[in-house]
Structure formats: structure tokens, C-alpha cells
Chains A and B, each alone.
Chain A
Amino acid sequence: MSVDSLQTLANVGKGESTRTTLRVVILFLIAGAAIASRLFSVIRFESIIHEFDPWFNFRATKYLVANGFYNFWDWFDDRTWHPLGRVTGGTLYPGLMVTSGIIYHALRTLTIPVDIRNICVLLAPAFSGLTAFAAYLLTNEMTPSSSAGLLAAVFMGIAPGYISRSVAGSYDNEAIAIFLLVFTFYLWIKALKQGSMLWGALCALFYGYMVASWGGYAFITCLLPLHAFVLICMGRYSTRLYVAYTTWYALGTLASMQIPFVGFLPVKTSEHMPALGIFGFLQLLAFLDYVRSAIPKGQYQTFLWLFAGGTFGIGLAALVVATSAGIIAPWGGRFYSLWDTSYAKIHIPIIASVSEHQPTAWPAFFFDLNMLIWLLPAGVYLCFQQLADEHVFIVVYALFGSYFAGVMVRLMLTLTPVVCVAAAIAISNVLDTYLSAKSPKPEDRLSDEATDAAVKKAPKGGLKSTSKPFVGVYSIFSKGAVVGAMTIYLLLFVLHCTWVTSNAYSSPSVVLASRLADGSQHIIDDYREAYQWLRQNTRDDAKIMSWWDYGYQIGGMADRPTLVDNNTWNNTHIATVGKAMSSREEVSYPIMRQHEVDYVLVVFGGLLGYSGDDINKFLWMVRIAEGIWPEEVSERAFFTPRGEYRVDDEASDTMKNSLMYKMSYYNYNTLFPPGQAQDRVRGTRLPEVGPTLDVLDEAFTSENWIIRIYKVKDLDNVGRDHASASAFDRGIKKKKATKKRGPRVLRVD
């Protein structure tokens, strides 16, 4: 009796309910930290949608909220890609917008007056809290130590690799997709471990949600079959695997085909073939398994070889035939660039022109993951030590993820979850070993055994040889040193994450911040100044031509039709705009007239030293235009004879006569004393005489000259061409063909 009560007393701190409460509290705190660390930009600037793509998602969400789901589904947007339009409802991943729409309507039902913009801005931080929780669940499946799960949750919450895509305002597909990715993996592991159809179905459900949300779903589509394949190769085929995989594949594929943008891709494209192949392979294995139990061993061997060889041959032949016949689409360009990093640069400049499609630089790994990156191998090693089915998953994921993260900067995002899980396993292993305050003593060992065996007090002085050999850390100093070092690492990690988030990932890029001489913050808001001007003071259907980077922003903020935008589905159309920008005025004007362009918008950073401007992007326009019209646009002609890209006096004639150059520097020299015009981005002095524009009128220039808007002139009233009309306005006399006068003749009456 007394012993029982003593034990209950001792177990108060260790009670299951206390631990659960603690765990829940800690998880809530982690979610809070994850959300809080993403709010830098809201606090510094305002609740604003960031960058480029989020503006489209925001606009689509507003459309969904205003017009309802079915209209959204059938949305044909005639305000983009003028005059082609875009079947927006069928060419987007609706998961993000629908999620925000549901949250919006739920809150409205509770009559909470929340603005859809705030939902969109805060969606990514809110989902990062959920991601942390999903990472906790996933890690718990890997190791019995629940501290590993909590560590993984913390890492997931604040790792810059994930924060980079999920700060407040970064309303992009990745905002919810990473949560779905991690959670789908958790459900997969759960289904695999239990061989449960229920978990498999749940996994398929979340996979379907993931497909609805992000193009990166292909990562799951390839990783799960790979995991299954590796397990099969390791001789670990089991009914559990069969049940989990087939449930996921059958339901998941059906679910994914419900999204119009995906449609029949899962049975048509090469990216989805591994999943189908493994599905078929598992059926064969299951069949063989059955046959083996039914027929004698000798016959089985022959049967096996014939059967396996035949099936493989037929399958391969079918694949080749289907691919060459065009039933299965070949690999897409973005996919090729995953294997050959210079592929895009040569063949598809439009993909290469996006900075996030560039190969990753080595420091980026440390920048985005800090110490986690060197803990990853340790975690993977620990997984190797146990190597149950779920650990194989981590190993496969780590290898796969590391490769892709090395190829494309933005795929750092898919690597981050596994790095967090592996690092958490490693750290918790170290801490669990070194953090026990008691030094192991022979007597303790005995009592440990005694309690382990859950028997009454064992008699002292049992046989030493019968007890297990005990390995442990005896010195308090080494414990202290290791734990101390780990603590310092962890603290440094937090510092690093905060610093990176605050400095690198929290700028809305629509609004720029600078400091005044007295240290106060000054907001440079040129983008919105110009977009607001366009929105209020131009016709509702005035077509705006700009480089495609600004298409989504113009659609979202200025609410005007654009020619091209960040949904780069039509390379020719983009090249047309590139050609208009890079050609002479006489060439550009017909292009602009044909596309009913009313205004042309360029970004110019020369006054402020804003380097992301159009002159710096100009070569990509030239290259993309050259891809379609090699005879008319030539990249070489934009360089000086010595191969330099210059904008000053030395610039080539093609450069100086290009519409982009003229629009950027038009009137700019009048801002300076004669001959003193400076371009602060290129750091050069500009020609004393600025360019002249004949076919365009300057319509608006923002305060710091970042955005310049030009109005396309109408045809001349008296039928002159624009060059002579503006020459006339400038007062330059047209040279008349001098009439040959004959010799004077005396007039005779």
C-alpha cells in the first residue's frame, strides 16, 4: 500500500496527462512562434500582398469570393493576355483560393468583419503553425522520443528555407502546400506502418488537396512510388505496403484528376508514370505472392522468371510506343532543367529568366537551413541504424530532396521538411543521451533493471553477468559540455533564423523602405502610386503593355488588362512584347497598334539606384524575342563592339534606338544640369542629349521615377508618320527636295 502511494507520488510529473498537457502547450507556443516570426513585414510595412504571383492569387480569391465557386471554376479572364484571354479557372491550382474563400465565408457566418486581404496575407503564417504540427506528427512516427517531434516542430516553424515562402503576405501556393506535403507524408507513413486502408484513404484525400494547391505535387507523386520501390528492392514487400500504396494511388489519382488543370495528366505524362508503374508492379507482386502459396517451389521459380521478364518487356515496349505515339507526353521543359541545369538557358530562356529557377549556390543551403544542414547526415545515419520502413522513407526523401534542392533554388522548400525531421532526430538523440542528470552506477543499473522488469525490489547483489552490458556517459563535465554546446547551437540557430527572416525574406518588394538622414523610415511607394494612377485615371479597358513580371501586379493593383503576365503560358506572346520593347519605334508602333495597347509601363531604377529595373532585365526580353524572330532581333546588336552592355554614349545604335532604352531615359537628362545625367544603377553618365520619342507620350512618372507610363499616340490627324509629325512639332523643317530652278527669263509682256 505504502509503496503504491509512493509510486503514484513519484509519477505525478511523469503522468501521461501532464505530459500531454505540456506537449499541447509547447506545440501551441511553437505555432505562435512560427506565426510571429513571419509577421515582420506586416509590422514594418502593412498588411499587404507581396511580390508578383501572390497578386494574382489575391485577385483570383477576390473573384471567387465575389462570384462564387462555379463562376470561379468557369472563369474566363479577358483582362489578361489581351487579346487572347486566359481560361483562368482551368489553368490554376484552386486549392489556395478555395481555402481562403472557405475561411472567409466561415468568419463571415460568425459575422466577424474580416477583409479578404487580411485572410490572404495571414494565411501563410497560419498554415506554418499547422506545418509545425505536421512535422511533429511525422517525426513521432520515426522515433519513440517525443522530444524529437517537438524539436522538429520548432525547426519547421522557424527554418528560413520554409519562411522564405510563407511570410505574411506571401500568398502563394506554397503557403498551404508545404503543410499538405508534410501531412500527406505523415499519413503515408501511418498507412504504411499499419497497412490501414483508412489512413491510406486519408493520405489520398490530402494528396488530392495538395494536387489542388500546388504544381509541386509531382514531388509526392514521385517520392511515394520511389519509397515503395526501394522497399520492394530491399525485399520488404508486405501486404501493408500493398494496401497503403494501392489505396493511396487509386483514390489519390482519381482525386487529382478532378482538378481541371491536372485532368488526364496523371495517365498521360511521364512525370506520373513511376506511380502508375509501381502500382502495376505491386499488383504483380501480390499476384506472385498468391501464386507462390499455391504452387510448388520448383515450378514457381520458372514461372517467376518468365512472368517477370514478359511483363517488364511488354510494359517497357508499351511505354516507348505510347510516348512516341504521343499518348504519353514527353517530359516538360522545367522537368528537363531538373536534370540538366543548363538546359533551360539554351532552349527555354523564359524559364531561365526567373531567378528562382537557377541552380542553388552552396551558401544558400547554410543561409536557409543553418546548422540543420550538417545535422541532416547525422539524422539520416540514425535512420539507417534502425531502418524500419518509415526510416527508409526519410533516407529516400533526404537523397531525392537534396538533389533537387541543389538544382533549383525554389526546391529548397521541399528539402526543408526532411532536414527538420532528420536534424530533430539527431539532436534529440544527442540530448536524450547527454541530458540525463544521473550518472550510471552499478546499483542504479540494478534498480533500473528492477523497475524495467516491473517487479518488486530485487534482492541486492544479483549476478553481474546476467545483466546487460551498460554503456553510458559518466562524467558530468562531458555531459555539460555537449549539452551546453547544443544549447548554444540552438540559440544561434534561432538568432540566424530571425536575422534571415527579418533581412532577407520580409520585404514586400511592392513597397521599398529607406532611411532618411535622421534615421526615420521613409517608404518608397512608387509602384502603388503609378498603379493607383492607372486605376483611377485611365479607361477601364485601357490595355497596358509591360514586361511580364508586372502583369499580375497591374491586374491586381491597377485593375487594367495586360498583354502578358507571370502565367507565362504563351511564349510567343511574351516574345511579341519583347520584340516591341527591343525594336525601333517604327517597328514597335504597328505591334502596339495591333494589340490595341493604350499605355506602356516600364520600370526604371536609374534615379534611385533600384537595380531590379527593366534595363537590367532587357537582355532577357531580347533573348526571348530572338527565340521567335531571330532575323529581326539579335542579342549581339545590343552590345558594344567590345561586347559590353552599356547605356551611355558608347551604347550601340540598336540599344539607343530600342523602345525600352528610349522609354527609360526619355526626359531623364532634363532633371540634371546639362551633361550631368547619371544612371545610379549602371553607375554611368548618360549622353548629353536624351532620346526622343515619336510614337509615345509620357503620361505619368512616379515620384522616384521607378515606374514610367507612356501613352501610345493615336494615328496622326493629317496622315503623317509620327516621326515627321513630331519633327514638325519640334520645329525642324522638313528638307524639301530643292527644285531645280531654270535660268531667269526676262518677262516680256
Chain B
Amino acid sequence: MKTSAVFSAVLSFVTLASTSSAASSSRTDLPSTFTPPQVFKNANLVHVISLEKNYVKENINVVIENIDKAPQQDYFLPFTADQISRLGGVEVKDRKDASAGPFGAEVVGVDPKSDLQYLRIRLPTPLKPSAQQTIGITFYFLKAYNPLPASIKQEDTQFLSYSFSAYCPSVYTTSKQKTEVKFPSATVPDFTKLPGSGEVKEFPQKQGSKLTYGPFDEKPAGALEPVQVRFEFNKPVTHVARLERDIEISHWGGNVAFEERYTMFHRGANLSSLFNRVKWAQSQYYQPATHALKEIKFPLRIGSADPYYTDVIGNVSTSRFRSNKREALLEIKPRYPLFGGWKYPFTIGWNSDAKNFLRTLSGNAYILNVPFLEGPKQPEGVEYEQVEVRVILPEGAENVKYSTTVPVSSITDADVVIHKTFLDTIGRTALVIKARNLVDDFRERELVVSYEVPLLASLRKPLIIFGSAVALFVATYILGSLDFRFSSK
């Protein structure tokens, strides 16, 4: 099972050249006169907006029907420019046929200045005229909420608001649709009410922590109905503006070293009056739910060892690491509780045995399988705006290929660079993958890297160190035996 997975991963390898070209073409600009051809119809659409985490997960399940005469392959989904900048993790699947695999999806812009942008979904096989297909589109919006009120007291409950359209934005006519909104709790004090249709007098309908707008009857292309909801979210709105993740492989040491540098913000409601230690200390006795970020938990891979937790001014002593056969849990506390609008950058790192991640394929070919993300696992979720994963391979590694199960549309750039460290002469090969707008749902996704290290490359360093030491001794010997005096007696 495992080997077959690896094998298929190897088969699906993209060489870097092709990925980078794909990455650069991931945003094609169409002529500004472009309008998506009206070739599809949304026969039935269910739009699920999940507000349970501190990012928005949207799921559009739609039955599309080709109303054109020719087979069609490109399905367009409209977004505003602002949404596009916060959009991430787009995955499209065939709801009926799970084995079809994810579809290609890419952002196409009409005009860089235009507010209207499109996501082009390319069906694996063109849809025949008047045929139907059920597709599921999942994507995430980061930085989606506004706290309302924008500043609250330390002990108050935090409420967030979110605006969206009750009709799913589409460039095609939608025959039937409904929008479901899921909340973290049943406390939803405010939401826009719409006149009902059919047997329902008024939208939305509330069931526990769920609101349902619809079902609506046929809506023309581009129909919107802006609504706003305000809901209780008494948890930190953790936002990682930038994550730099280094994975350093040492063949000699049999070790894989991880280091992650986070720039973390709390995007929730600010404090209306400044931080009060007395209230904070007193509230800590009975552990209430709070919108401040007190603790971050990193469930690492089993076998992780020697963790460290530092920030720019040194070690932070408030961390615990529990490591046994079943888990390797790193729990860290920021130096201060993180309230809305506050920032806390920090660094964590750990080591792991290379055999947990690295396999020899044949001779000098290796394959590495590491998690693409290993960030914190918090009940409220974590969102990542910029992610840079750097896989530092041994010196002289060549023929580097990678594949990842993170949505291709999230990967913005991949490159092989040279990283010099620890007495390197030619430097180590480093694979740098940049991604944007990811969330912690992707923390189990894999990154598979294959590379080759020729024997000579692995012997280079000992030989060079030996050679330079010998050269140094010889030079000292020769210099020592020379006579620099003006006259020797």
C-alpha cells in the first residue's frame, strides 16, 4: 500500500521546469472584453459556508448542465479582486466519481484593474451537450471577518461579522439553489432577513448553529443578494501572515531538522481599554473561554525530538513537550496572552530521525516524504497567508523533483536554489516552494521530493576538509623551516 502510494507519487512527479512555468501561467490575463460564454446552466446548487473556524470554508456543490451545442470544458466562477487576493485552497472534485481526482482550477484575470476576476475550472473531459455533471468546489477565504464591535473589553465576548451573498455568485443561470451557513455556536445575534418564497415566510431558517437561506427559484446570471451575519466567536482569530518552514536533511547525521518561523497576528477585536493584568490573573483561576490566544499546540510526528521555542530575544521557557510512542505534542505559550491586534512572531524547531521521512529508492536516488505544513492544531483553526517551505537537500543533490497534495492553485512559486552552510563548498541544493492562503485543514498534506546524490558529492566534504587540513600543515611546515633573519649566525 505504502510503496504503491510512493510509486504513484513518483509517477505523478512534475519536474521543476514544468511546474514553474505552470506557476507563472497560473494567472492568465484574458482580454478585458472577455465575458464567460453562457454555455452552462446550474441545474441545482447548494452553497455551504462554514464559519466555524477563523477562516471561511465555502463549498459549492453544483449540478452543471451543458446548454450549448458543442462539448464544453471550461466552467467559470466569479470573484471580486479582493476575494481573489484572499482565496486559497481551491479544490474541485466530481461528486459522483471520487476516483476522477481533483480537477484543474486556475485563476484567470480579465484585467488587473477590474474588480471582476474568474476562476476557471477545467473539466477533465469535455461535457457533452445537455449532459449533466455534479461537481464540488471547495475553497477558503482568509481574513474574512470583521469583529463587531471592533474593540471590546478584556473579559467580554467577541463577535464577528461576515458578509456574503445569499445567492451564490455565478456567471450562469441558476435554476435552484440554497445557501447554508454553519456557525461555531448557536449564538447568532444578528443576520439579514430576506422575504421567503414558497411555504417559507422568511429566510433564513435557523436550526441550532445553522442558518439556511433558500431554496430560491431561478436566478439570472450574476444575481447577488448581500447579507450579513454576526455571530459569537469567543476564540482567538489566529492569522499567520508568514510561515517559513525549513526542512534540512542530513545524510551523514541521519537526521531531518525542522524549523518554522511564524509571524502571528490576532485579527480579532481589539481591547477597548488597555491590558489589565489583575483581571487577567484573576480570570485565570477559573479558565473561562477567552478571545485571547494563550496556548498553541503542535502535534508533531511521532519520533520528533529536541524541540526548541524561541523568539527574537531568546528562548521562551513556557513550553512543554510530551513525547512518547503515541504522540509528540509540543505545547507553547506566547510570552504574553495575545489579544486582538497584537502580534507575536516566534520560531520553533525540532529534529527527527531521517528514517521516518527518507527512503532510498535505488543506489543514490532518495525520496523524501514530509508534511507540507505542520502548524498548530487549534480548535479555532489557523490560517496562513504566505508559506515558504524550504527543503534543504544534501550538498550536490541533483535531479530534484517534487509533488504535493496541496492544491496546485495555492502554490505560487517553486524554485531550486543554493544554500551554503556548515563548510559547504558548492552549497546545498534547496527546493523552495512558496504557497499562499492556506489553512490548517491542509496540515496533513504531503510533500514528496525525490533527488539523487552521487557518491562523489557525499564524499566531497570529508575530502575537502582533509585536504585543507593537510595543506595547512604543509604550509606551516614550509613556512616554519624558512629562515627570515637578515643574517644567520
A residues with a Cβ closer than 8 A to B are: 45-48, 110-113, 511, 523, 525, 528-529, 531-533, 535-537, 557, 667, 670-671, 697-703, 705, 711
> Closest CB of chain A to B313's CB: distance in Å?
5
Q: Is the CB of B275 within 8 A of A700?
A: yes
> Bound state CA distance, A511 and B317, in angstroms?
10
Binds A, one of B335-343, B381-389, B429-437: B335-343
The answer on a CB contact under 8 Å between A699 and B345 is: no
- A528–B423 touching, CB < 8 Å: no
Contact A537 B343 (CB under 8 A): yes
State which of B281, B313, B424 has its C-beta within 8 Å of the C-beta of A111. B424
Q: Is B405's CB within 8 Å of the partner chain A? A: no
**Pair A536/B275 contact, Cβ less than 8 Å:** no
A705 partner residues in chain B, CB cutoff 8 A: 277
Residue of A nearest to B425 (CB): A111
Name the contact of A532 in the complex, choosing from B273, B274, B277, B311 (C-beta under 8 A). B311
Report B-chain residues with C-beta under 8 Å of the C-beta of A47: 314
A532 near B335: Cβ-Cβ < 8 Å: yes
Are B274 and A536 interface neighbours, CB within 8 A? no
Could you tell me if B421 and A671 are in contact, using CB atoms closer than 8 angstroms? no
Closest to A45 in B: B315
Contact B317 A523 (CB under 8 A): yes
- Asked whether B278 is an interface residue with its Cβ less than 8 Å from the other chain, the reply is yes
B423 near A48 with CB under 8 A, answer: no
Identity of the chain B residue whose Cβ is nearest the Cβ of A697 in the assembled complex: B274
Residue among A531, A533, A699, A705 with most chain B CB within 10 A = A533
Q: Which of A511, A523, A532, A700 neighbours the largest number of chain B CB atoms within 10 Å of its CB?
A: A532
Give the CA-CA distance A733 to B312 in the complex, in Å: 48
Contacts A528-B313, A700-B275, A701-B277; is A533 near B335 (CB within 8 Å)? yes
Do A670 and B314 have beta carbons less than 8 Å apart?
no
Q: Using CB atoms, name the residue of chain A closest to B313.
A: A557
Tell me whether B278 and A536 are in contact (CB under 8 A). no
Task: Beyond the given A48-B314, A523-B317, please list 15 additional residue pairs across the A-B interface where CB-CB is below 8 A.
Answer: A46-B314, A46-B315, A112-B422, A113-B421, A525-B317, A528-B314, A529-B336, A532-B312, A535-B313, A536-B342, A557-B313, A667-B278, A671-B278, A700-B274, A701-B275
* Chain A positions within 8 Å of B341 at CB level: 537
Distance of A219 from chain B, by nearest CB (Å): 34
Q: A111-B420, A113-B422, A536-B344 are in contact. Are A525 and B277 (CB under 8 A)?
A: no
CB distance from B183 to the nearest CB of A (A): 30
Expressed in whole angstroms, the minimum distance between the Cβ of A678 and any Cβ of chain B is 15
Q: Distance in Å from the Cβ of B421 to the closest Cβ of chain A?
A: 5
Q: What is the CA–CA distance of A529 and B315 in the complex, to the nearest angstrom? A: 11
Q: Which of A48, A699, A702 contacts B274 (CB 8 A)?
A: A699
Indicate whether A532 sits within 8 Å of B313 (C-beta atoms), given known contacts A537-B342, A667-B278.
yes
A residues in contact with B316, CB < 8 Å: 525
Give, as a whole number of angstroms, the nearest-CB distance from A743 to chain B. 49
Interchain Cβ contacts under 8 Å between A and B, 24 examples: A48-B315, A111-B421, A111-B423, A113-B422, A523-B317, A525-B317, A525-B318, A531-B313, A532-B312, A532-B335, A533-B335, A535-B312, A535-B313, A536-B342, A537-B343, A557-B313, A670-B278, A697-B273, A698-B276, A700-B277, A701-B275, A701-B278, A702-B277, A705-B277
* B residues whose Cβ falls under 8 Å from a Cβ of A: 273-278, 281, 311-318, 335-336, 341-345, 420-424
How far is A47 from B313 in the complex, measured between Cα atoms in Å?
A: 11
Question: How distant is B319 from chain A, measured CB to nearest CB, in Å?
Answer: 11
- In the complex, what residues of B have CB within 8 A of residue A531's CB? 313
| Smallest CB gap from B317: residue in A | A523
Contacting residues, chain B, for A48 (C-beta < 8 A)? 314-315
* Whole-angstrom CA separation of A705 from B278 in the bound complex: 10
B423 touches A110 (CB 8 A): yes
Query: Which of B273, B277, B335 lies in contact with A528, CB distance below 8 A?
Result: B335
Q: Which residues of B contact A537 (CB under 8 A)?
A: 341-343
Q: How far is the CA of A533 from the CA of B274 in the complex (A)?
A: 13
| Contact residues in A for B420 (Cβ distance below 8 Å) | 111
Contacts of B317 in A (CB 8 A): 511, 523, 525
User: Nearest chain-B residue to A526 (Cβ)?
Assistant: B335
CA distance A130 to B195 in the complex (A): 86
- Closest Cβ of chain B: how far from A279's Cβ, in Å? 29
Q: Which residues of B contact A697 (CB under 8 A)?
A: 273-274
C-alpha spacing A536/B345, complex, angstroms = 8
Q: Which of B281, B335, B342, B423 contacts A529 (CB 8 A)?
A: B335
Complex contacts, B423 vs chain A, CB 8 Å: 110-112
**Which residue of chain B has its CB nearest to the CB of A48?**
B314
A533 and B421 contact, CB distance less than 8 A: no
> Per a CB cutoff under 8 Å, which of B274, B276, B343, B345 touches A711?
B274
Complex CA distance for A535 and B420, rounded to whole angstroms:
31
- Write out the residue numbers on chain A whose beta carbons fall within 8 Å of the beta carbon of B345: 536
B16 to chain A, nearest CB (A): 25
Task: Report chain B residues within 8 Å CB of A702.
Answer: 277, 336
CA distance A536 to B264 in the complex (A): 10
Q: Whose C-beta in chain B lies nearest to the C-beta of A49? A: B314
For the complex of A and B, 7 pairs with smallest distance between CB atoms: A701-B277, A523-B317, A46-B315, A536-B343, A529-B335, A113-B421, A699-B274
Q: Which residue of B lies closest to A46 (CB)?
A: B315
CA distance A533 to B423 in the complex (A): 37
Contact A667 B276 (CB under 8 A): yes
**B262 smallest CB distance to A (angstroms):** 12
Instruction: List, in ascending order, chain A residues with CB within 8 A of B277's CB.
Output: 667, 698, 700-703, 705
B344 / chain A contacts, CB cutoff of 8 Å: 532, 536
Q: Is the CB of A671 within 8 A of B281?
A: yes
Cα A671 to Cα B315 with chains together (Å): 29
Report Cα–Cα, A531/B313, bound state, in Å.
9
In the docked arrangement, what's the CA distance between A698 and B342, Å? 16
Which residues of chain A come closer than 8 Å to B315, judged between CB atoms?
Answer: 45-46, 48
Q: With a CB–CB cut-off of 8 A, which chain B residues contact A667?
A: 276-278
* Residues of A contacting B342 in the complex (Cβ-Cβ under 8 angstroms): 536-537
* Nearest-neighbor residue (CB-CB) of A527 within chain B: B313
In the bound complex, how far is the Cα of B277 from the Cα of A110, in angstroms? 48
| Given A536-B344, A670-B278: A700 in contact with B336 (beta carbons within 8 A) | yes
Roughly how many angstroms separate A45 CA and B312 CA in the complex, as a whole number? 16
Quote the shortest CB–CB distance from A559 to chain B (angstroms): 9
Q: Cβ of A698 and Cβ of B335 under 8 Å apart?
A: no
Residues of chain A within 8 A of B335, CB atoms compared: 525, 528-529, 532-533
B472 to chain A, nearest CB (A): 13
Contact A699 B313 (CB under 8 A): no
In the bound complex, how far is the Cα of B318 from the Cα of A399, in angstroms? 51
Bound-state Cα–Cα, A374 to B300, Å: 59
Chain A residues near B275: list those with CB within 8 A: 698-701
How far, in Å, is A690 (CB) from chain B's closest CB?
11
